Amino acid sequence: MQWAIKTMADDNPDNSGNCTRLFNAIQSFLKKLSGKLKKVSRGFPVKILFFLIGFYCATAFATVIGQTGDWDILSAGLAVAIVEVIGALMYRASFALLGRMKNMISIFNYWKAGLTLGLFLDSFKYEVDELLESCSPFNFEINIFTGLW
């Protein structure tokens, strides 16, 4: 009598029969996980570098454009257009011309992620500065000698 239910461990070619089904399932899961981690780690330093360059570009972009104040709308439109173009290229990379440039588009996608995160964090930085200036939560006085005189 054989089992009617087939699991992902049943496809394991080195199934010697000595191990349990649970052990085979865990072993199969670990093999698939290590394969995916190897695929992600390929080019990892370059991906981190472009992510950090995007983060730096966001800081420079917010600082330089924010000084004049009269180009805010155009600069925001430019940032959105750049992010949308890179996203469109990333998800339409199945075209023949774009298929050859898939790695470069993927690298620019990491730059885009750094740019987006940097702009998001810069917006919180300016709001927190305004909040702290208006309510002064760290400016308080403690008089420990009030009950003694």
Q: What is the pLDDT of residues 1-59, one digit of tens each?
A: 555 555 554 555 555 555 688 888 898 999 999 998 888 788 888 999 999 999 998 88
Q: Which amino acid is at 73?
A: I
Judgement on whether residues 66 and 34 belong to the same structural domain of the protein: no
Please report the pLDDT score of residue 64 as a whole number. Answer: 79
Can you tell me the distance from the alpha carbon of 9 to that of 98, in angstroms, rounded to the nearest whole number?
Answer: 38
Contacts of 89 (CB under 8 A, 6+ apart): 98, 105, 108
Helices (H), 42-71: 44-68
Provide the sign of the torsion angle of the four alpha carbons 15, 21, 26, 29, taken in this order.
Answer: positive
Q: Is 110 exposed, middle or buried (0-12, 13-18, 19+ CB in 10 A)?
A: buried
Tell me, yes or no, whether 125 lies in a domain: yes
As a whole number, mean pLDDT of residues 63-85 equals 79
Please report the pLDDT score of residue 139 as a whole number. Answer: 67
Judgement on whether residues 67 and 31 belong to the same structural domain of the protein: no
Judgement on whether residues 53 and 109 belong to the same structural domain of the protein: yes
Residue 129: other Cβ atoms inside 10 A = 10
Judgement on whether residues 78 and 54 belong to the same structural domain of the protein: yes
Lowest-confidence region among 49-53, 54-58, 92-96, 125-129: 92-96
Share above pLDDT 70 across residues of the chain, in percent, rounded to a whole number: 65
Provide the sign of the torsion angle of the four alpha carbons 52, 108, 60, 138, taken in this order.
Answer: negative
Domain count, the chain: 2
Q: Say if CB 56 and CB 66 are below 8 A apart.
A: no
Share above pLDDT 90 across residues of the chain, in percent, rounded to a whole number: 15
Residue span of the structural domain in which 107 resides: 43-135
